[in-house]
Structure 1
Amino acid sequence: MSAERSDGPKRTTTATHWGRYDVETKGGRIVAIDPVADDLEPSPIGPGIVAALGSRARILRPAVRRGWLEGRPREGTHRRGADEFVELSWDEALDLAAGSLAGLRDRYGNDSVFGGSYGWGSSGRFHHAQSQVHRFLAMAGGYTGSLNSYSCAAMEVILPHVIGGTGFSILGRTPRLDEIAANCELVVAFGGLPVKNRQVNDGGTGLHRTQPFLRRCRDAGVRFVNVSPIRDDMSTLVSAEWLPLRPNTDVALMMALAHTLIAEDRHDKEFLATRCVGFGRLEDYLMGAVDGVAKDAEWAAPITEIPADVIQNLARSMAERRSLVTVGWSIQRADHGEQPYWMAVALAAMTGWMREPGCGFGSGYGSMQGIGIERARQRIAALPQPDNPVDVAIPVARICDALENPGATIDYDGRRITFPDLRAIYWCGGNPFHHHQDLNRLVEAWQRPDLVIVNESWWTATAKFADIIFPVATFLERNDFAAGSNDPWLCAQQKACEPPRECLTDYEVFCRLADRLGFGSRYSEERSADEWVRHLYEKTRQTLGADGVELPNFEDFWRRGRVKMPTPPGSPAGDLVAFARDPMAAPLATPSGRIELFSATVDGFRYDDCPGHPVWMEPAEWLGSPLARRFSLHLISNQPHMRLHSQYDHGGASQASKVADREPIRIHPLDAAARGITSGDIARVFNDRGACLAGVLVDDAVRPGVVQLSTGAWFDPAEPSTAGSLERHGNPNVLTLDKGTSRLAQGPSAHTTLVDVERWTGEAPCVAAFDPPHFASHQGELRPPGVGRAHARGVS
């Protein structure tokens, strides 16, 4: 399975989050990455990786932060993020890491170690960074983990209370695109359906198949309504109507639609009575019996800036035509983000169209490839995970709160969570200085632990903010196989070239650390990485064989490069159509077995920011708030189209999208003219939390009062040792609000952010995001702070 070095050309195949590619190698170097021939909608991200492979940002040797190594971890320029690094041998760096982890664990307990990893580092089943680091830390004694995701934490927590199942089960239960084309007449998409997001999938993308389905919908006459501040959040293929509402006001619009249905007696009373619980409580709220405020179209119009007659006519169409209400993940990454999902289910239930395939309620169509294509994923083997001896976990977006307030407690989904005293962080396969909010706050909180270890291939901000760096191989430099969620393909990831001489795989790093800590054989199970890949494939083959699905043997699979699995027969658990047609035969996994428009469980939590039924609550920041007098633009920090999150921002595709070497910010012509800004300018984007520079694109695809600056530009503060320093590259998370969605889910609220923009005058600072840190030499004993001689070889 290993790549052979030769002077002649060689072609291998690989699978990524954003598609399958053929890789051409000459003389041991990758010279081209081409989409496979049968992918008719290939992502541009893949070919752009070639430009990144020779980047100066590649980490080539193990390195340790100088201030940490010399016992001055938080002083002046020795702060994390600003310090020099010292390159060491593997043995020296591994000894330091193992000894420090063991010492901190002995002194503060296993819950003092935070197992940070956010998954998307690799689409491979074995070389999955999150699985590797969690397996290692669990075997080392345990760790504090995280709950939910940055993508859709509010959805993950609220939907199980409303329609049952797990947080992500809706992705396999949502109506398929072929069902929509065949049966639906009207799709109302809150948050739109941005095709750019459908180029990626968490476990790999076998083929992109969105455009043919959209053409079928168009040809069938399906009407699409794009409810979003951004017009191109919907493909031009479907000629969608655009309702450019104010950001964070989706719930108000949904409630006005619901009010119209009730007021005009267009709601499905039989469905609400026999398949839902609590509609009467919600109806009283909508009609104003609770607070004296009727949530009608006239009430919603000034909040949403959608005319009342447009709202009323849309509600009538939803009642008259077979309709689907769908919500994107973006709208729940906001203050009170649980509410739009809950209210969207209620609105869909009121129309009664859940009985029909392709209609009712759906989610995620504009979030990942595979959603709406296949109903469920087969059982694919993954790296086994032992039980974590530590039973502490924190909501993923509350890492700053935990670092700042050890011992403090927060509410979460009906229980109390106490923050542990986090003394060590091990991060592998993610970039918190991309996906977390209010990065200036994170810079300060990140100084608090005694130890930060990072496995990385590139000098990202997370690497520069570490104490110990282990350089690791990329997906092109190792063997694996991929299988994406709701994607029928198993795809080979064939090693195309050797990693740089001193780069190991994550697996090799953890094997060596585990050896030092006394559980090496248990961690590796005496298998090499390639033996693990074969083992997991054969285990998958055996499991699926018992289900009647035949896969080829490993050699045949590896030669073919991919294999397609059949769609599982039958309806998925919790299927809404099956439930809607016969609720007694197919009850939902809720306390009542029905859709809970009022949840006694949630009501019993007594959360003032998430009561027992959907409500409208003003966000902490929005264009209707007093703060808008100072910061009059709402920032949308959505997903980029030329990279995945921050991955390969230094690649050719992402670099080609930059404006003046910075992430582009889109602004409406009226807002640009009022500020004297034109396309190609450099703009300063700012609020009370921070400021960044971005390249301007004037574009009427964003509504007035809104600017759009995608996430993922590598964090590049001008003065890394100074909190609040100007960010030079266009990372919007120096501006975003770091607040839990509510006490229920504690999810991220990045889309609840007000800013202003001004033209940058004078010479702009150069972008240094892709530069490696400074290196220094070190003389003397390797003895970092807090590590005693008893742990010099990692005695556990």
Structure 2
Amino acid sequence: MLWCKELLIIIGLIGEKSPALLLLSLLPLKAENLPVGKRMEKIPTICQQCHIECGVIATVNKGKVVKIEGNPEFPLNKGLLCPKGLNYLELQYHQDRVKFPLKKKNGKWERTTWEEALDIIAERISHISKVYGSKSLALSVGTQPRGNYISTYRLAAALGTPNVTNPGYLCYYPSVTAGTLTFGADVMQERGPDIDHTECILIWGANPLNAHPPIGRKMQQAKRSGQAKMIVVDPRKTKHAEIADYWLQLRPGSDDALALGMINVIINEKLYDQQFVEKWCIGFEQLAERVKEYTPERVSKITWIPPEVIRAVSRLYANAQGAVLYHRVAVEHHSNAIQTLRAFALLIAITGNIDAPGGNVIPHYPKGFIGRREITYPQEIRDSKLEKLRIGADRFPLMSGPESFIPRVRTPDLVHAILSEKPYPIKAMIAFNNPVVTTPNSKLVWDAFKKLDFLVVVDFFKTPTAELADIFLPSATWLERNDIADSPYTNYIAARRKVIEPIGECMDDKEIVVKIAERLGKSQHIPWKKTEDLLNMRLK
């Protein structure tokens, strides 16, 4: 399959017992096929305003997108679209969007060329690396709506630095760590819960109807149709809580105690899947001993949930023929997040709901397809000696050490390293996101970034982080680039088709890193020249 020969979507990729793969051709409706008076091109593509990646149809008139609407043929959102997607053109054509490279001169921005900007970057990065060593360089990356996640780690490998930071230390990464440590996969968020075949939906610290509407809508339909019971654990009364069989308005931060209390009930009342536990689980006796002290009465005092409710929801979850546990990042915004999420994983495991129909299913990519994580952190770019030098590797080995699943630096650790120059100086950064705003204590982050000798920002707008930069490189939006939509949050692989050419001189992030590496004489570390080369590599 070569990129853009046709636009395909592959569905049904979840679990070993998944349905046969279904290929849907989503070729654009050409202008000549439209009625007279509507000579516009309608192009199916995939929104990237969030992780869900809904199918959309972009209407293009004379090279400009004039409308975005949901694609009724796309099986995830089935034509519906949230306000962020419907109103994306406000960002796309906003008057403040930066369309050309900029350089800072005497404290003011002035337009420059890509050639000059890349020359400045190469000269400054080379000098800093020579004086302070390559580990003095750092990169910062976000997630949606950008296509830079894959390419940033490749650029870091080319530069010879282990220091890449990302906000994932307080969202998503704790779940990946807990799930991988427990049963080898992260199955508790959007990709994993088999909502279509479940009898019980346990929503814990999540509000998917607002945050990820297609998932939330599917849950609401399962409950309203009588297919599934619903348990909601949330201090707030969400729309899900309004229709749930049980709403547990727990004390914020007491999620781990509630999970241990549920395990206590399930083990003491022998509601666990004994056959599964005997065949697949290690350490069950130690777990049973550990949770003895977490009786519903004691847990009630910690969580504010009545003991009888703790018992009732434990029985409902354990007795269902297929139950899903779905959480989101609210649970991860806590100092004990990984251990809390490991308790969630244990709930799934001992009830036999791991990789079972109607439970939390381990996803499988089609044979030969290179997934997002595999292309981002391939073994050939991981250097254990270099990774031991990563900031925070000694304090947070599961996140920052050589054996971390998704290697990165906690952004607060990087900020403190810049300010203190310990364990070594950080002198330059290339930021594909806006850490001054997304990191706790913005004033401290601002002070740290002011101390950098050199800062490059790649973005759509002059963000607070960009105001401190020396070079600004304009990034292309998802409407302006080809990509593969295989977010780990959903059960689909689809083609995100470029519908218009980039505005001004904006460029795909995946090609920007190639330009920087080439100018530094390190292009051999990045195995693609154009975006389509990368996409073909992943598909074939």
**Which residue in the other structure is 2:250 paired with?**
245
Do structure 1's residue 15 and structure 2's residue 15 form an aligned pair?
no
Residues 435-454 of structure 1 mapped to structure 2, 5 A cutoff: 435-454=438-457
What is the CA-CA distance between 1:32 and the residue it aligns to?
Answer: 1.6
User: Within 2, Cα distance between the matches of 1:173 and 1:37?
Assistant: 21
Residues 47-58 of structure 1 mapped to structure 2, 5 A cutoff: 47-58=86-97
Write out per-residue CA displacement over residues 12-60 of structure 1, whole angstroms, 9 at most, x where no aligned residue: 3322233222222334333222222332332332220122233232113
User: Within 1, Cα distance between the matches of 2:158 and 2:208?
Assistant: 41
**Which residue in the other structure is 2:520 paired with?**
517
What is the CA-CA distance between 1:244 and the residue it aligns to?
Answer: 1.0
**Which residue in the other structure is 2:411 paired with?**
399
Residue in structure 1 matching 2:154, options 135, 139, 148? 135
Do structure 1's residue 157 and structure 2's residue 160 form an aligned pair?
no
Q: Residue type matched to 1:106 in 2?
A: K
CA RMSD of aligned residues (A): 3.8
Write out per-residue CA displacement over residues 154-195 of structure 1, whole angstroms, 9 at most, x where no aligned residue: 2222333322x25x3666983522221xxx3x3333224523
Contact 1:14 1:20 in 2 (8 A): yes
Residues 195-214 of structure 1 mapped to structure 2, 5 A cutoff: 195-199=209-213, 208=214, 211-212=217-218, 214=220
Give the TM-score, by structure 2 length: 0.75
**Which residue in the other structure is 2:20 paired with?**
none
User: Within 2, Cα distance between the matches of 1:354 and 1:506?
Assistant: 37
Give the TM-score, by structure 1 length: 0.52
Q: Structure 2 vs 1, CA of residues 539 and 467 (structure 1 numbering), >3 Å: closer, same or farther?
A: closer
User: Within 2, Cα distance between the matches of 1:252 and 1:345?
Assistant: 14
User: Within 2, Cα distance between the matches of 1:265 and 1:481?
Assistant: 45
Do structure 1's residue 303 and structure 2's residue 302 form an aligned pair?
yes
Q: Residue type matched to 2:381 in 1?
A: D
**Which residue in the other structure is 1:177 paired with?**
195
Contact 2:101 2:472 in 1 (8 A): yes
Residue in structure 1 matching 2:381, options 375, 387, 391? 387
What is the CA-CA distance between 1:353 and the residue it aligns to?
Answer: 5.9
Equivalent pairs, count:
471
Q: Structure 2 vs 1, CA of residues 493 and 321 (structure 1 numbering), >3 Å: closer, same or farther?
A: closer
Partner of 1:45, secondary structure, is helix
User: Within 2, Cα distance between the matches of 1:49 and 1:103?
Assistant: 40
Do structure 1's residue 278 and structure 2's residue 283 form an aligned pair?
yes
User: Within 2, Cα distance between the matches of 1:40 and 1:342?
Assistant: 36
Unmatched segments (≥5 aa) in structure 2? 5-27, 31-37, 392-399, 401-407
Residues 71-150 of structure 1 mapped to structure 2, 5 A cutoff: 84-122=108-146, 128-146=147-165, 149-150=169-170
Q: Residue type matched to 1:134 in 2?
A: Y
Q: Structure 2 vs 1, CA of residues 423 and 233 (structure 1 numbering), >3 Å: closer, same or farther?
A: farther
User: Within 2, Cα distance between the matches of 1:377 and 1:351?
Assistant: 26
**Which residue in the other structure is 1:638 paired with?**
none
Write out per-residue CA displacement over residues 674-709 of structure 1, whole angstroms, 9 at most, x where no aligned residue: xxxxxxxxxxxxxxxxxxxxxxxxxxxxxxxxxxxx
Q: Residue type matched to 1:62 in 2?
A: P
Write out per-residue CA displacement over residues 590-619 of structure 1, whole angstroms, 9 at most, x where no aligned residue: xxxxxxxxxxxxxxxxxxxxxxxxxxxxxx
Q: Structure 2 vs 1, CA of residues 23 and 257 (structure 1 numbering), >3 Å: closer, same or farther?
A: closer
What is the CA-CA distance between 1:301 and the residue it aligns to?
Answer: 2.0
Partner of 2:415, secondary structure, is helix
Unmatched segments (≥5 aa) in structure 1? 71-82, 123-127, 200-207, 288-293, 363-371, 410-417, 543-796
Q: Structure 2 vs 1, CA of residues 301 and 509 (structure 1 numbering), >3 Å: closer, same or farther?
A: closer
User: Within 2, Cα distance between the matches of 1:447 and 1:162?
Assistant: 42
User: Within 1, Cα distance between the matches of 2:475 and 2:279?
Assistant: 56
Contact 1:24 1:32 in 2 (8 A): yes
User: Within 2, Cα distance between the matches of 1:25 and 1:319?
Assistant: 51
What is the CA-CA distance between 1:407 and the residue it aligns to?
Answer: 12
**Which residue in the other structure is 2:203 paired with?**
189
**Which residue in the other structure is 2:343 paired with?**
343
**Which residue in the other structure is 1:503 paired with?**
506
What is the CA-CA distance between 1:337 and the residue it aligns to?
Answer: 0.6
Write out per-residue CA displacement over residues 728-783 of structure 1, whole angstroms, 9 at most, x where no aligned residue: xxxxxxxxxxxxxxxxxxxxxxxxxxxxxxxxxxxxxxxxxxxxxxxxxxxxxxxx
Contact 1:65 1:86 in 2 (8 A): yes
User: Within 2, Cα distance between the matches of 1:228 and 1:53?
Assistant: 35
Contact 1:400 1:441 in 2 (8 A): no
Partner of 1:470, secondary structure, is strand
Write out per-residue CA displacement over residues 592-648 of structure 1, whole angstroms, 9 at most, x where no aligned residue: xxxxxxxxxxxxxxxxxxxxxxxxxxxxxxxxxxxxxxxxxxxxxxxxxxxxxxxxx
Contact 2:332 2:338 in 1 (8 A): yes
What is the CA-CA distance between 1:492 and the residue it aligns to?
Answer: 4.1
Do structure 1's residue 219 and structure 2's residue 238 form an aligned pair?
no
**Which residue in the other structure is 1:231 paired with?**
237
**Which residue in the other structure is 2:12 paired with?**
none
Q: Structure 2 vs 1, CA of residues 173 and 96 (structure 1 numbering), >3 Å: closer, same or farther?
A: closer
**Which residue in the other structure is 2:23 paired with?**
none
Contact 2:300 2:307 in 1 (8 A): yes
What is the CA-CA distance between 1:256 and the residue it aligns to?
Answer: 2.5
Q: Structure 2 vs 1, CA of residues 233 and 377 (structure 1 numbering), >3 Å: closer, same or farther?
A: farther
Partner of 2:343, secondary structure, is helix
What is the CA-CA distance between 1:251 and the residue it aligns to?
Answer: 1.6
Q: Residue type matched to 2:238 in 1?
A: D
